[in-house]
Amino acid sequence: MPQQRRKECCPSSFWTGVFGRLLSHFPALAFLGFVAALMLIHPARAEENLQGKIIADVIPVGNRIRTAEQIRSKMLTRPGSRYDDQTLQEDVRRLHATKWFVPGGVQILAHLDPDGRVTLLVHVQELSQTVEEVHYLGAQHLRLSELQQLTGIRKGEPMNPLANELGRQAIQRRYQEDGRYFATVELVEGSRPTDRRVVYRIVEGPVVKVAGIELRGVEQASQARIRTLLVTQKRLLGFLGGKFNPMTLEIDRQKIIDYYHGLGYLDVQVTPEVVPLPDPGLVRVVYHVREGRPYHVAARVISGAKSFPPERLEALTELKPGERYDLRVVQADAQRIKDYYGMRGYPVAVEPRLYEVAGQPGAVQVQYEVINDRGEPDRVGRIIIEGNEVTKRRVILNELPFRPGQILPYDRLDEARMRLARLGIFDPEDPPTVEVLPNEWDSVFKDIRIRVKETRTGQFMIGGAVNSDMGLTGTIVINERNFSLTRWPTSWDDIRSGRAFRGDGQELRIEAAPGTQFQRYAITFREPYLFDTPFGLTTSGYFFTRAFAEYIEDRYGGRFTIDRRLDPIWRASFMTRVEGIDIGHVPWFAPKEIAEDRGNHFLLGLRAGLTRDTRDSYIYPTRGGVFDIGFEQVLGSNAFPIGTAEWTQFFSSRYLAREDGSGRHVLGLRSMLAVTTGNAPVYERFYGGGIRSMRGFTFRGMGPFENNLAIGGTFLWINTVEYQIPLLANDKLHWAIFVDHGTVERNVSIRNYRVSVGTGLRISVPALGPLPLAFDFAFPVVRGPDDHRQIFNFSVGVFGGP
C-alpha cells in the first residue's frame, strides 16, 4: 500500500531527480541512494492530501537484478501522471504478479516536493536470479533423476545459493551412504544470487569398504556383545558387504555409550577413528573407549508423589542401594511407577535423575521424580476415530481396552496401539496412533483420538516347509484380514475401490498345502468379536490326506470354535468338529485294530478347553509358560472321550546371562498327557515319536505295534527337559541338550517307558522368518521292542524344543 509523506525543508526536486537517475543506472548504489533520500526528505504532516497531484518521478529502491526501467514498465503510474491511491494499489499488485519479488516485498512511499509535485520511492525486495541451467559434472553412478531429487533444483526456479549448498551436501551424503567415503562435491556456480547457472563438480572416488573394526580400551565389557550393536560392519570373505558410511560412526558411538551406561559406567568416553589403508578402497574403523569406573547406588529416592505414599511406589522398584547402577533397571522402574499411576487414571511422567554423592566417589543417588501428580483421575470422554474409510468403526472400538466414562487407563494406550497394529489392516509404515486430547475446560473427561491409515489387506502367499516328520510341503494361501461377510457390492465402483466384502475386521483364509507325504486344503473364516461381544467365532472346512505305513487316511469336514478371552492370560474355548474319515490301502496282514477300521466313518466331536499363557515371547520364551487342558466327547461311528493336558514352562536366571541381560540360559520343561478309551478307532488314538514328541524315534515310531505296524495307544505321557545355551553374542545360535522320556500304551499303565538323550542347534535366520531352524541328534537309551529309531531330526519353521 502507498504511504504519504511530505517534505518540510527546502531541497529542490532537481536533486531528487538526479538521485533517481543515478539509482536507476547504478543498482549497486541503491542503498546509498536510499540513505541520501532519507536525508533530503523528512516525514510529512499526516493531514496533507496528495490525491491528484502531479508525479515528479518514480524511483525503484533495493533492486539489484531488475533494472529501474523493467520495474517502471510494469507500473501504471508514470512521471507526469496524477497521484491516485487506487492506481498505486494496482501497481503493487502488478509488481507482485511478476514473481520478481518476495511476498510482501513491494512498498511505495510518496513524498511531497517543494514545488507541489510528488516523488515516489518504490522499495522492493527481490527474489534471486532465475536458474537457467543445472549441471552435474562427473556423476557416473547416480542417475540424473536421483541427483535432481537430492537437490530439488530445477531450471526456471529462483536462484537460491543456500538451497544450492544444501543440495551439494545432500549429494555428498548420498555418495558416502553408498560407500564412497572420499567422494567430493564442489559448487562451482550457484553460490551467488547473481549467478544464472548451478554447476556441481563431482569426484566420486572408489567404493570404500571396512576391512576391520577394532575396539580399543574395552576391558570390563564384552567385545563380542558390543560388536552386535554396531551399525558399521566389516566386509565378509573379502568382498561381501561392508560399505563404509561415516554417518554410522556417531550412531555406533552412542550405542556403545548407552551399553556402558547400562553397565553402570557413567563416565565412559568413545571416540571413533577412521584409519585409511594403502588400498584406497579400504579403511579400518577404530573405536577408542575410556571406560572409567563403575558407579554404585548409594540411595534411591522417590519425589513428587502426592496421590500415593512413596513406600508403596518404592515396592515397585528393583534397583537396590548397594548394587551397581544399571540404566535398564532404572528405566524399567520408572516405567512401572508410571504404569501404576496410569492404570489408575493419572497422566504422570516419571523422570529418573542422578546425583553424585559428596565424599563417595563412584556413588550416585537415583531419584525418581513424579511429575504432574495432581487432582483426581481422568476419565474417558469421546472416542474420535479418523482415517477409517473402509473399516467399520466398531472394528476399531472392539480392540480398545476402554470405553467412554471409564477411568482412563494411561498404561494401556500402548496396548491399544499394538492391538490395532496387530490386526494387519492398517499401514505398518504409518501405524495407528492413540492420543489423549488436551481439554480446554480442565475437565477430568479426556477425549481420545485414534488415527489410522488403511492399507491392502489381501495377501497371496507361496511358501513351503520341510521336516523329518512330514517331508516337503508347499503352501499356497489367499488371505483377507479385513473381510466382511455382509458388505455385498451395490455397484461396480464398490468392487473397483475395494469396498466390497471388506471392512468388518473378519478374516478369510483359503489354503492349499500339497506335499510329498501330506496334503491339506482348507478354508477358514474368523469373526474375532461375534455380535460385538468378547466371544470369537472360527469356522473352517477342510480336506487332507496322509499316507502312513499302516494305511492312507482321507479326512474331510468342518470345525466350529467359540472362544472367550477371560483376562490377559486365560482363554476358554468350545469346539465342535464334524468329520468324515476314509481309511484305505490297509495291508492284508494288518492286525485287527487296523483292519476293522477300514472304510468310511462319521465323527462328531464336542470339546471344551481352557488355556493359560504367561510366556514372555512366542518365539524365544525365557520365562513363563503355557497350560492347556481340554475334554472332548466324540460321537458317531464310535463313541469315546478324549482328555488332554499339556504344560510347558520356561526358566532363566540373570546370573546365567551377560552383564547386559542378554545371552540367558533357558531351561524348558514340557509334559503332555492324553487319555481315551478302548472304543477309540485307530485314526483317533495316540502315537509317539518325532520332533514335537519323542526325538530319537521316527514319526509314529514309538508305541504299541502289531505285525510291525503301529496300532496307537489310549494313554500317552511324554515329557521333555531341554537346556539352551547361546553360542553367539547376537543370540542367533543356541546349543541345546535335552532328555525326552515317556510312553504310549494300550491302556492307562506304564509298561514300556522310553528315554532318549540328545543335542542340537537352534539357528535363527532372519530371511526365513522369526522361527528358527532346528537340528537335533537324539539317541534312544531305553526303547520298546518294536520301536523305530531315527537319530537325526530337523525342521524349518517348527521349533524342536519344548
629 and 731 part of one domain? yes
pLDDT confidence of 798, banded at 50, 70, 90? very low
Higher pLDDT: 254 or 471? It is 254
Taking only the tens place, the pLDDT of each residue in 674-693 is: 999 999 999 999 999 988 88
The span from the first CA to the last CA of the chain, in angstroms, equals 82
- β-pairing verdict for 754-763 and 773-782: antiparallel
Comparing 160-164, 239-243, 754-758, the range with the smallest average pLDDT is 239-243
Q: Which of 161, 200, 164 is nearest to 183 (CA)?
A: 200
CATH of residue 788 = 2.40.160.50
**235 in Cβ contact with 242 (< 8 Å):** yes
pLDDT confidence of 472, banded at 50, 70, 90? confident
Cα distance between residue 88 and residue 81, in whole Å:
12
Spatial neighbors of 240 by CB under 8 A, at least 6 apart, are: none
For 222-251, the three-class secondary structure string (H helix, E strand, C coil) is: CHHHHHHHCCCCCCECCCECCECCCHHHHH
Q: Which of 24, 22, 10, 33 is nearest to 113 (CA)?
A: 10
Domain boundary among 433, 451, 469: 451
pLDDT confidence of 15, banded at 50, 70, 90? very low
161 and 277 part of one domain? no
Q: What is the chain's percent helix, strand, coil content, to nearest 5? A: 20, 40, 40
Spatial neighbors of 302 by CB under 8 A, at least 6 apart, are: 310, 313, 314, 337, 367, 368, 370
103 and 140 part of one domain? no
The count of structural domains within the chain is 7
Cα distance between residue 18 and residue 162, in whole Å:
37
Domain boundary among 290, 305, 322: 290
Residue 622, domain member (yes or no)? yes
What number is the average pLDDT over the span 276-295?
Answer: 93
333 and 441 part of one domain? no
Taking only the tens place, the pLDDT of each residue in 145-177 is: 999 999 988 888 878 888 899 999 999 999 988
pLDDT value of position 119: 93
Statement: residue 709 has pLDDT above 80: yes
Q: Which of 703, 699, 683, 702 is nearest to 691 (CA)?
A: 699
pLDDT value of position 36: 40
User: CA dihedral defined by 96, 97, 102, 105, rounded to 10 degrees?
Assistant: 0
pLDDT value of position 659: 75
What number is the average pLDDT over the span 794-798?
Answer: 60
Q: Which domain holds residue 357?
A: 296-371
pLDDT confidence of 498, banded at 50, 70, 90? confident
Statement: residue 571 has pLDDT above 80: yes
Cα distance between residue 1 and residue 531, in whole Å:
66
Taking only the tens place, the pLDDT of each residue in 64-92 is: 778 899 899 999 999 999 999 999 999 99
Higher pLDDT: 28 or 118? It is 118
Specify burial of residue 303 (Cβ count, 10 A radius: 0-12, 13-18, 19+): exposed
**Over the range 739-759, which residues count as b (16 or more CB within 10 Å of their CB) and which as e?**
bbbbbbbbeeeeebebbbbbe
pLDDT, mean over the chain: 87
pLDDT confidence of 469, banded at 50, 70, 90? low
CATH of residue 270 = 3.10.20.310
247 and 322 part of one domain? no
pLDDT value of position 796: 61
Statement: residue 799 has pLDDT above 70: no
Residue 609, domain member (yes or no)? no
286 and 317 part of one domain? no
Residue 149, domain member (yes or no)? yes
Comparing 384-398, 480-494, 555-569, the range with the smallest average pLDDT is 480-494
769 and 650 part of one domain? yes
Higher pLDDT: 667 or 799? It is 667
> Among 192-201, 417-426, 602-611, 783-792, which range has the highest average pLDDT?
602-611
Residue 655, domain member (yes or no)? yes
245 and 193 part of one domain? no
Residue 240, domain member (yes or no)? yes
266 and 348 part of one domain? no
286 and 325 part of one domain? no
What number is the average pLDDT over the span 285-306?
Answer: 94
Residue 99, domain member (yes or no)? yes
- β-pairing verdict for 624-636 and 599-613: antiparallel
692 and 775 part of one domain? yes
Taking only the tens place, the pLDDT of each residue in 509-552 is: 999 988 877 889 999 999 999 999 999 999 999 999 998 889 99
Domain boundary among 290, 308, 339: 290
The sheet with strand 282-290 has its strands ordered as: 209-216, 282-290, 269-276
Statement: residue 285 has pLDDT above 80: yes
Q: Which of 671, 775, 762, 780 is nearest to 724 (CA)?
A: 762
Spatial neighbors of 21 by CB under 8 A, at least 6 apart, are: none
**Over the range 353-363, which residues count as b (16 or more CB within 10 Å of their CB) and which as e?**
eeeeeeeeebb
Query: Residue 497: helix, strand or coil by DSSP?
Result: coil
pLDDT value of position 771: 62
What number is the average pLDDT over the span 116-126?
Answer: 90
Taking only the tens place, the pLDDT of each residue in 325-375 is: 988 899 999 999 999 999 999 999 999 999 988 888 899 999 999 999 987
Comparing 100-109, 115-124, 138-147, 398-407, the range with the smallest average pLDDT is 100-109
Cα distance between residue 352 and residue 236, in whole Å:
42
Q: What is the pTM of this model?
A: 0.68
Taking only the tens place, the pLDDT of each residue in 619-668 is: 788 999 999 999 999 999 999 999 999 999 999 987 777 777 788 899 99
pLDDT value of position 50: 86
Residue 566, domain member (yes or no)? no
447 and 463 part of one domain? no
Residue 313, domain member (yes or no)? yes
Name 511's bridge partners. 477, 522
Q: Which of 327, 369, 331 is nearest to 350 (CA)?
A: 369
Instruction: Tell me the residue ranges of DSSP E strands in 416-551.
Output: 433-436, 445-451, 458-467, 471-483, 506-513, 518-527, 535-547
For 460-488, the three-class secondary structure string (H helix, E strand, C coil) is: EEEEEEEECCCEEEEEEEEEEEEECCCCC
What number is the average pLDDT over the span 794-802?
Answer: 50
